[in-house]
Amino acid sequence: MLDAGLENNSEQPQVNQQASRQVSRMTRQRALIMAELRSVTSHPTADEIYAMVRRKLPRISLGTVYRNLDLLTDNNEILCLEYAGFQKRFDGNVNDHQHVRCMHCGRVADVTLEVPTPELPKNMYVPDFTVLCARVEFFGVCESCRQAEMAARHECA
């Protein structure tokens, strides 16, 4: 089995070389996306990450960024934060932590104080579901939305 594999490799050196170049380019792109994401705490959207990565890899496509973000999420190397009605946001910090979301603009920030995750009620029953875990989320209004709101109110008065 092992011998057959080695033989196969040596039979197509050019194809393998090309493939490994492609793999290393993909790995580089993915590493850069991850590094950019880990350098911020803004929980950016895919479009924002695309803009960040493009400064260093001007020819990278939005599709490549999307694909890599999906892959990194599937591999649990980054977090994907999804809320109905808002664009997905991504988080390079995969440690257990909670988030607060602005109900106006969808902006997300980390909640730094530790909040215990509630235990699932005993004999919890939801039809058609096996409930595995719970998550705490906070909602509010971010500072810039609050100021915009106050300014708008001021204009009316």
- Edge-first strand order for the sheet with 137-140 is 108-111, 98-102, 137-140
104 near Zn ion, judged by CB under 5 A? yes
For Zn ion, give the closer residue by CB, 24 or 110. 110
Least CB distance to Zn ion at residue 62 (A): 23
- 89 neighbors 41 (Cβ within 8 angstroms): no
| Residues in contact with 53: Cβ distance below 8 Å, sequence separation at least 6, in sequence order | 29, 32, 33, 36, 60, 65
In the three-class reduction of DSSP (H, G, I as helix; E, B as strand; rest coil), residue 130 is classed as coil
145 near Zn ion, judged by CB under 5 A? yes
69 near Zn ion, judged by CB under 5 A? no
105 near Zn ion, judged by CB under 5 A? yes
Least CB distance to Zn ion at residue 127 (A): 32
From the list 30, 33, 53, 91, which residue makes contact with Zn ion (rule: CB under 5 A)? 91
For Zn ion, give the closer residue by CB, 34 or 64. 34
- 104 neighbors 142 (Cβ within 8 angstroms): yes
Binding site for Zn ion (CB under 5 A): 91, 102, 104-105, 107, 110, 142, 145
